[in-house]
Amino acid sequence: MMGGTAEMRPHNGLQYFEVKGWHKDAGTQIAVTSAADIVTARRIISSQVSALTERCQQLDRNLKKSGTFDAEIEKSKTHPSFDLTITKGKAPSPATWQPLQENSPPRQEKAPRDQSVVDWLTTNSITGSTYLTCGTASQTPLCAQLKQRDFKIVGVLSGEGKRQPVESGHPDRSRPQAGSLAQWFADTPTTARADIAGYILDATATTTDLNLIRHRVLPGQYVCTERYSKVAEGFASDWDGRIIEWPQHVMFLDPGPRYLDPLFIPNDRLHETNWPKISVVTVSYNQAPYLEDCLRSVLDQGYPNLEYIVIDAASSDGSQEILQRYAPQLSRLIIEPDEGQSHGLNKGLDVATGDILTWINSDDMLAPGALRRAALAFLDNQCDLMVGGCERITENSAEVTSLHHPALPYGRAVPLGFFEHFMWTNSWERGDYFYQPEVLFTADIWHRSGGYLKQHLYWAMDWELWIRMGLAGAIITHIPDTIGRSREHEAQKTTSEQRYLHQLKNILLEHDDALSQLQQSSGDLPKGEIPDWINFDPIHGPAHVPLSLYQRIWMLRDPQRLHIAIQHRLPEPVKTQIKRLWRLRHPENLRAAINHRIPPRLRDYLREKRKSLRYDLSGVSFINRVRLKEWTRSRELLVKAEHDAQEARAIRAKLETEIAQLRLRCTELSEQCLELNDRIAKSPDEEQSTAEVISESIANFATKLLFDRTADLQSRQTIAAYLAHGNTVEDALRTVAIQCYSEQSKVTFAANRRLLARPVAMPELSATEHQRGEFTIIDVGAEPLDFEAHVYAALPKYRPSLIIGFDPTDQDAPKVETSENDEALRCEIRTLPYFIGDGHPATCNLARMQPTSSLLEPNLTLARRFSLLAEALEIVESRAVETRRLDDVIAEQNISDRWIDFVKIDVQGATLPVLKGARETLSRTLICHLEAEFTEIYLGEALFSDIDRYMRELDFVLMDIATLGRQRYNAFDVTEDRFFHAGRLLWADCVYVRHLDDPEKLTDAELLKLAEIAHVVYGKYDVAAFALQTVSNRAESTVYDDYTAIWN
C-alpha cells in the first residue's frame, strides 16, 4: 500500500544461482523452484526454435528473391558462444520504499437528516450528468431515482469481468472482458473520464474495483458505495478526503493524493512528498525529426524527482544542435560515437542513479503523467516491473492507430515467470506481453538481471532483458493507464518483414546453453511437476474447431478409424486434439482433462459425456450397435461415391471427344482465315465480306469450344481479331478466356459500360461558371490511352482536357496528339515512355495478359487456386528497367501552375511506391482513382490497409470502392449460369477525394470540378450536390439550384 514499507516477499522455496560470462564480469541471477522448471523451459525453447527455423528459412528466401542484402541479418545468423560459469547465489535483499506522505485522516460528516443521497447528488451535480456504475449497481433503487431526475447511468461489469484466456493457456495471462471497469479505464483517456460525475458501487463491488479507482478520481468526482459493503470499508480505511454518511450509503469526495489522479496534483504540492527518483535514458542517432518531441514528452512530465540522461552517437542531421538547446534541462548529455543502440543504453543506465529506470527511444514518447502513474504503481504494489498501455501513433503524431495492453491482470502483482517468456509464437508475437515504451523497472531488478543489455543484439535486446528479469524472479504489475507512445515510420527497426527472426532464435539458443549448464549443476533441486497448462507445440495460428467435430471425434473409438481421421486435411491443432481425446477413454483421464485449459465448448461437452459413461453390458451393446450402424452408413456412402466417380469419368471422356472435334474444326477454319487474309491483302474490297463471315464463324466455334454456350458480341469480336492477326486457335482461345470471361474482366466491362451510360446528363450551368479551365488528367495505368473504356473517358466530352499517360513500350513516345470531339472540345494526349515507380532500378515482368504485367513478381502459389488467374499472371518475359518518380516527370511537363483534377493509378501491386514518389503531385490533386489489393497477388506488395493509411496522411478521404475484383476458386470452376457466383474479393478500384470531409479547404473551381467528376464518372449525384451547395453557400450563386432542378 502506498505510504508503507515493503515487507519481505515469500520466496516460495526459490533457490538462487548466478550466471557469469554473458557480459564482462556482470553476474545474472536465476531463481528456480524445481528441476521441472528447467525441463519445461528447455522443451519450450526446443519447440520455439523449430518453429522459428522454418520462418527464418522463409525470410531468407524472400530476401533472396527480392535481391535484398541486410548486413544486420547476416550478422544475426551467427550463434555466439559464451564461456559461462554458474554458481550458487544468495537470496536478494528486499527493496524498501520511502512513504510518499503520511496518512492523513479523512474528514467525516453526517448527512443532513432532511436530505437524501439522491437530493444531495441533484443539488451538487449538473442536471444530465453521467454516473458510472459497477456490477449490478445500475439496477439499484438509487440509480432508478437518478434516472428519473434526468441523470445518465452508464453500467460496466465489476473489476475485470470474466477474463478472456489467451492462446498460451497461462492462468495469469488473460484479458479483461469487454465492458468491464478495467477495460473502460484502459480505453478511456483522462480527458474523456472528466465527463463522468462520479462512480456508484454496490455490495457486489470488489477490491479490484477499489484498486482500479485509486489514483484515477478527478477533482469534483464522487465515489458512492453502499454503507456496509466490503468496498466501503476499503475506501474508508485510507480515503484522504471528505466522507459523508447516510443510513444506507457513503459518499467519498474531495480526494487527496492517494485517490486523486496524479495529473491533477498541484505542482506546488509535488515537492511536499517523497517521490522515488526515476532515471530516464534516451539514445539518439540521426533522428532529428522526432527528437524534440521525445525530449519534450519527458521534460514536460512535471515529475519532481527526475534524472534525464541523453546519449547521442555523434549525429550529423542536426540532432546535436537540438540537444545543445535542451542541455540545461538535462541531467547529463553525452555526445560521442558508440557501438550501437545497446552500447549507448548501457552507458546511460550505468550512470543512472534512480530507484526506477527506463529508456525511451528518440522516435518514441512518454504519455502525459506517465512517470507519476508509474511511481504510484511501484509504491502501491511493491513490484519489480510496472507496465501500462502503449499507443501506436502515425509518423506525424496526428493519429493513434492502435492501443496495446499486455494480457496481465490489472491492479495486482504477479510473477513475471521463469519460462513463459520463451514462448515467442504462443505469446509475445500475439501481443500478450509488453512493448518497450510502456515498461519501467526498478534499479534492483536491473542489477539482479546483470545490469546490462547484450551489445551484440540489434533488434531484440529488450526481449532478452525481460527473459533475464523473469529468470531472476521479477514481480510485475499492470495498470490501465497509457504510459508510452510508439511512432510508426519507415526508418524504424521493427517492421512487418520480421528481419529479427534469426536473432530471436539465437537468443533462445543462448539461454538453452545456460539452462543446460544449470541443469547439470543443480542436482539438489526438488523434482517438481510440469504445469498442466503448458502446451509445448508452437502455435502457428488460431483454428476454429466446431463442436460437431468434437462430437464426431468422440465416436472414433476404433484405432483404425482414428488413424484414417488423422490423415484427413485437418488443421494441426485439430489433429492434436484428436490424439489427445483418444487417450481420454478412461474416466480418470477424462476428469483430469476437463480441469485442463481446453476450449470451453469442448470442456462442457466432455463433462456431459463423462456423466453419461456407463461401462456395463448394456452400454457396450449400445456402443457396438452404434458402430455397426455407422460402418453400414459409411459403406453405402463409399459405394455411391464410386458410382458417381464412374459417371463423371464417362462424361469427361465424352466431353474430351467433342472438344477434340471442335478443335479440329477450328484449326480448319483458322487455315481458311489465313488464306483469306492473303487474298484480302491483294484485293481487300472484293473479299472483305467473306473474311468477316469466316472470322465470325471461327469466333462462334471457339466460344463453343470454351464455354459450350452462345457468346456475347465482345468475346466473338476478340477471338476473331486474334485469329485475323495470325495467332493460333489455342492462343486465341486462351486469350479470350483470360480477358473476356475471367471474373475481373466481366466486372470491369460491365462497370465501364455503366459509367459511360449514366441516366442523367450533367446540367448546363451559367456561362461564367462553366468557364473553369480544362481538365488535367494523369493516367499511370495498364491500358493504352486510346482505350475507350477508361474510367474518365466521359470527361473530355464536358470540357477541354489534357491527359498525360505512360507507355514504356511505345516506340514513338514521347508524343503529343490533339483531337476534337463532337462538341468541338480540344483534347491533348501526351504519351511518355517511362516506367513510374520509386525512382530505383526494377524488373518489369511482362505477363501473358498484358494488363497484369507488373514491376513485382506474381504470387503464383496463390493464383493457381483461382480460375485462369495463374494463366493471366504467367511471366513471358522479364527485363531490367529504370523507374522514375511521378513528381520528377510532372515537373518536366510545364504544368506547375495547374491543379490536377484526376489521377488514375493501376500498376498491379506497385501502387504504394508510385504514391510515395508522387507526394508533391498529390498535394495539388483533387481525385485519385487507384487499384488496391486485399491479398498478396504480387509478392511483397502493399495491401489496401497500407495504401489507405498513406492516403489519409495526405488528407485524402475514401469516397467509394468503384469496382470489385473477384475471382472464383478452382474448386468450383463451373461455367453454367445457374452455378455462377461472385467469387472471392481480391482487389478493388478505390476512389479518394482530397479534403472531402473538410470542403472549406477546397476552392470554388475545385468544388465545381468535383461536382462534374462525381456526376459524370461515378454517378455520385449526392456528392455533386454537396459540392455545389458548398459553392452556393459561400457566395450568391445558383449552381446548386440549377443542379437540383433536374431532379424535380
528-580 pLDDT per residue, tens: 777 766 666 554 433 344 445 545 554 544 445 555 555 554 555 555 655 55
pLDDT of residue 563: 52
Say if CB 769 and CB 1008 are below 8 A apart. yes
Closest CA to 94 of 11, 196, 186, 18: 11
What cell does 519 get? 541443469
pLDDT of residue 673: 65
Degrees, nearest 5: CA angle 643-647-652: 145
CATH of domain 772-838+886-994: 3.40.50
- Backbone dihedral region of 512: left (phi > 0), alpha (psi from -120 to 50 degrees) or beta? alpha
**Does position 761 have pLDDT exceeding 80, yes or no?**
no
Lowest mean pLDDT among 64-73, 380-389, 440-449, 753-762: 753-762
Report DSSP letters for 267-319, one per residue: HHHHTTS-PPPEEEEEEESS-HHHHHHHHHHHHTT--TTEEEEEEE---SSSH
Handedness of CA 403, 409, 415, 417 (dihedral sign): negative
pLDDT of residue 518: 82
**Does position 590 have pLDDT exceeding 80, yes or no?**
no
Strands 875-884, 900-905: pairing is: unpaired
**Does position 411 have pLDDT exceeding 70, yes or no?**
yes
**Does position 922 have pLDDT exceeding 60, yes or no?**
yes
Lowest mean pLDDT among 39-48, 280-289, 871-880: 39-48
* CB neighbourhood size of 791 (10 A): 23
Counting beta carbons within 10 angstroms of the beta carbon of residue 476, is it exposed (0 to 12), middle (13 to 18) or buried (19 or more)? buried
C-alpha dihedral (699, 705, 711, 714), degrees to nearest 10: -50
Mean pLDDT of the chain: 77
Q: What share of the chain is helix, strand, coil (3-state, %, to 5)?
A: 40, 20, 40
pLDDT of residue 228: 83
pLDDT of residue 354: 92
Q: What would the pLDDT profile of 444-495 be if each residue is shown by its tens digit?
A: 999 998 888 888 787 788 888 988 888 888 899 999 999 999 888 776 655 5
What cell does 170 get? 497461462
3-state SS, residue 399: coil
pLDDT of residue 709: 41
3-state SS, residue 211: helix
Lowest mean pLDDT among 278-292, 582-596, 659-673, 768-782: 582-596
pLDDT of residue 347: 92
- H runs (alpha helix) in 127-222: 141-148, 181-187, 190-193, 207-213
C-alpha dihedral (84, 85, 86, 91), degrees to nearest 10: -100
| Of 743 and 936, the one with more pLDDT | 936
Q: Find the length of the chain.
A: 1048
Question: For 904-916, what is the mean pLDDT?
Answer: 93
Say if CB 691 and CB 677 are below 8 A apart. yes
What cell does 288 get? 532529428
**Does position 960 have pLDDT exceeding 70, yes or no?**
yes
How does DSSP classify residue 247? S
Cα distance between residue 221 and residue 213, in whole Å: 11
Where does the pLDDT of residue 630 fall: very low under 50, low under 70, confident under 90, or very high at 90 and above? Answer: low
Question: Any idea which fold 109-264 has?
Answer: Rossmann fold (3.40.50)
**Domain residue ranges of the chain, discontinuous segments joined by +:** 1-100+366-488+496-542, 109-264, 547-613, 632-741, 772-838+886-994, 1003-1048
Where does the pLDDT of residue 745 fall: very low under 50, low under 70, confident under 90, or very high at 90 and above? Answer: very low
Lowest mean pLDDT among 679-693, 732-746, 798-812: 732-746
Phi, psi dihedral angles at 162 (to 5 degrees): -90, 105
Question: For 428-443, what is the mean pLDDT?
Answer: 82
Cα distance between residue 168 and residue 417, in whole Å: 13
What cell does 233 get? 470499508
pLDDT of residue 613: 46
pTM, full prediction:
0.53
pLDDT of residue 264: 85
Strand partners, 85: 20
What cell does 632 get? 453400414
3-state SS, residue 680: helix
Say if CB 718 and CB 695 are below 8 A apart. no
Distant-in-sequence, close-in-space partners of 973: CB < 8 Å, separation ≥ 6:
867
3-state SS, residue 732: helix
The C-alpha R_g of the chain, in whole angstroms, comes to: 36
Where does the pLDDT of residue 615 fall: very low under 50, low under 70, confident under 90, or very high at 90 and above? Answer: very low
What percent of the chain is modeled with pLDDT above 70?
71
| Of 831 and 411, the one with more pLDDT | 831
Question: For 713-730, what is the mean pLDDT?
Answer: 55
> Residue 492: in which H helix or E strand, if any?
none
Cα distance between residue 106 and residue 1042, in whole Å: 72
> Residue 466: in which H helix or E strand, if any?
helix 461-471
Report helix angle 547-554 to 572-582, nearest 10. 40
Question: For 175-195, what is the mean pLDDT?
Answer: 87
Question: Would 109-264 and 772-838+886-994 be classified into the same CATH topology?
Answer: yes
Q: What would the pLDDT profile of 273-300 be if each residue is shown by its tens digit?
A: 678 999 999 999 988 888 999 999 999 9
**Maximum pairwise Cα distance, the chain:** 116
Where does the pLDDT of residue 121 fall: very low under 50, low under 70, confident under 90, or very high at 90 and above? Answer: confident
C-alpha distance from residue 971 to each of 40, 642, 765, 936 (Å): 44, 20, 54, 20
**Does position 156 have pLDDT exceeding 70, yes or no?**
yes
- H runs (alpha helix) in 408-455: 443-448
Strands 925-933, 900-905: pairing is: parallel
Contacts made by residues 888-893, CB under 8 angstroms, sequence distance 24+? 888/839, 888/917, 889/832, 889/834, 889/836, 890/778, 890/804, 890/918, 890/920, 890/921, 891/920, 893/804, 893/830
Cα distance between residue 443 and residue 436, in whole Å: 16
pLDDT of residue 472: 87
3-state SS, residue 3: coil
Where does the pLDDT of residue 11 fall: very low under 50, low under 70, confident under 90, or very high at 90 and above? Answer: very low
Question: For 297-321, what is the mean pLDDT?
Answer: 91
